[in-house]
């Protein structure tokens, strides 16, 4: 069984070939973010220092927290307006015909977040480097210390609002049989039994736990048949619409990308996720598995 949408992933071999060809339309971005323990949760720190320690040749750095988030929301990462995104993508050097590749030096969730944002803006030629920088390094491929940049682009943003949901839409989905809500966090965080939490323990009522790491094998996405089995066994696959959430709309994009790879075309991210949900005491949380 092959991926239904393989164009959203690029292998290290294919990217290496593209880099060697130095195509005018290629745009590669390191979007690394580092999570530093900050009990009971984590603090997100820009990965610009990791980028400076070596990156794929020609790569520019894109700061998810600073350049691609609404920093006034009070949450760690929040989707900004379409106008803001268009200006940011143009400043980064993206045109409508650019072949964009995102990767991170840590977990792939940062690259899938960047991918989901650009994909939801109507840009179809965007992919995630499968295995990220770790796989690239493990294969002894070339690294560069030179900071990369691109000439300003003219990309047009056409934001698909159906790819994102807010708190009210997520609450309304609890009793909607046509929508399956999935929680991408670790089982202990989902159940409320882990030390780590977002201020209140548990998960949104009727949401299923599909831990993002179960989508991966050795840092890469699992084969299509394994992903399909994950979603079929959990009862997610046959649902017309899926909403994915996590702590802050980041790791949920792993699940969203997995679904997209195998052909589910009606998936949304709850952008505020648990970081927003827990702040509203009127919204219930369920503990236990």
108: CATH: 3.40.250.10
Residues 152 and 10 in one domain: yes
Look at residues 144, 159, 174 and tell me which one is the last residue of a structural domain: 159
- Phi/psi of residue 195, nearest 5 degrees: -65, -35
Q: Is residue 282 part of a domain?
A: no
Structural domains in the chain (count): 2
pLDDT above 80: residue 168: yes
142 and 221 belong to one structural domain: no
Residue 81 located in a structural domain = yes
Query: What local confidence, expressed as pLDDT, does residue 38 receive?
Result: 73
Q: What is the largest CA-CA distance in the chain?
A: 56
pLDDT in tens, 94-149: 999 999 999 999 889 999 999 999 999 999 899 999 999 999 999 999 999 999 99
Range of the domain at 176: 162-277
Whether 127 and 194 map to the same domain: the answer is no
pTM for the structure as a whole: 0.95
What is the structure's pLDDT at 35? 74
Residues 235 and 254 in one domain: yes
pLDDT tens digits for 8-36?
Answer: 999 999 999 999 998 889 999 999 998 77
**Model pLDDT for residues 78-97, shown as the tens digit of each residue:** 999 999 999 999 999 999 99
Q: Would residue 58 be called left, alpha or beta, if left means φ above 0 and alpha means ψ between -120 and 50 degrees?
A: left
Q: Based on the domain organization, do 119 and 143 belong to the same domain?
A: yes
Among 127, 142, 159, where does a domain finish?
159
For residue range 43-70, list pLDDT tens digits in order: 778 889 999 999 999 999 999 988 999 8
Beta strands in 93-251 (DSSP E): 99-103, 126-129, 164-165, 179-183, 208-209, 216-217, 220-221, 241-245
- State what percent of residues in the chain have pLDDT above 90: 87
Considering the domain boundaries, does residue 288 fall inside one? no
Q: Is residue 286 part of a domain?
A: no
pLDDT at 41: 66
**Is residue 21 located within the same domain as residue 139?**
yes
**Are 169 and 202 within one domain?**
yes
Quote the Cα angle for 204-205-210, to 5°: 65
């Amino acid at each position: 069984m092959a991926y239904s949408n393989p164009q959203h992933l690029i292998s290290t071999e294919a990217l290496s070939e593209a880099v060697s060809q130095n195509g005018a339309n290629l745009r590669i971005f390191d979007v690394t973010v580092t999570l530093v323990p900050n009990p009971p949760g984590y603090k997100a720190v820009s990965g610009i220092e990791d980028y400076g320690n070596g990156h794929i040749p020609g790569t520019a750095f894109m700061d998810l927290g600073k350049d691609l988030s609404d920093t006034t929301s009070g949450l760690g990462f929040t989707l900004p307006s379409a106008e803001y995104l268009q200006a940011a993508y143009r400043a980064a050097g993206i045109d409508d015909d650019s072949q964009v590749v995102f990767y991170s030096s840590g977990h792939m969730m940062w690259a899938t977040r960047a991918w989901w944002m650009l994909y939801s803006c109507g840009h179809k030629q965007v992919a995630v480097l499968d295995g990220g920088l770790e796989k690239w390094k493990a294969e002894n491929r070339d690294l560069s210390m030179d900071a990369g940049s691109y000439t300003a682009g003219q990309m047009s943003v056409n934001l698909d609002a159906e790819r994102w949901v807010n708190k009210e839409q997520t609450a309304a989905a609890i009793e909607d049989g046509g929508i399956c809500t999935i929680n991408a966090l670790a089982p202990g965080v989902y159940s409320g039994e882990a030390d780590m939490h977002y201020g209140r323990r548990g998960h949104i009522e009727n949401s299923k736990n599909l831990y993002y790491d179960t989508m991966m094998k050795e840092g890469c996405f699992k084969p299509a048949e394994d992903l399909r089995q994950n979603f079929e066994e959990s009862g997610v696959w046959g649902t017309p619409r899926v909403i994915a959430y996590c702590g802050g709309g980041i790791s949920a994009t792993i699940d969203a990308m997995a679904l997209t790879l195998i052909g589910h075309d009606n998936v949304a991210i709850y952008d505020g996720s648990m970081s927003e949900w827990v702040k509203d005491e009127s919204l219930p949380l369920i503990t236990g598995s």
